[in-house]
Amino acid sequence: MILYRWSTVNNFQSLACDDRRFSYQFNGIVGGMDSRNTDWEGGYFPLTMHFSEDYPSKPPKCKFPQGFFHPNVYPSGTVCLSILNEDSGWRPAITVKQILVGIQDLLDQPNPADPAQTEGYHLFIQDATEYKRRVRQQAKQYPPLV
């Protein structure tokens, strides 16, 4: 296992690589949001990136834990982000850093035009107060690693 520390890349921490034949899996943490005025502040959210043997021709599969609350995260935890869509948004030149920054931006700026989760989407659109409360509650469930 190879361990990387990306503490200088917009608050990403501890990326580990698990080499299994031709696929790679990175387990990391997205968090610390650059802006201290977000509802996601203080949360460090576990993220898995699975790279198939077809990478970089195909994008990695990016997942938060199952049940992660966000309009653009499927109930399975899979991230719905345009640059990860192999049919339209993916380009082999997209870097891991660009993916991670894109996911971090998506957390605080959901895309209501591409919902992946009914509950998160409806609260984001219809009840901003409850949506923000749920986001802050989730951030507390994933405190920083010390």
Catalytic residues: 80
Q: What are phi and psi of 117, to 5 degrees?
A: -140, 125
Burial 49-60 (b: 16+ CB within 10 A, else e): bbbeeeeeeebb
Q: Positive or negative, the Cα torsion across 104, 31, 74, 54?
A: positive
Length of the chain equals 146
Other beta carbons within 10 Å of 89: 13
Cα–Cα distance, 83 to 61 (Å, whole number):
11
- Tell me the C-alpha distance between 46 and 28, whole Å: 6
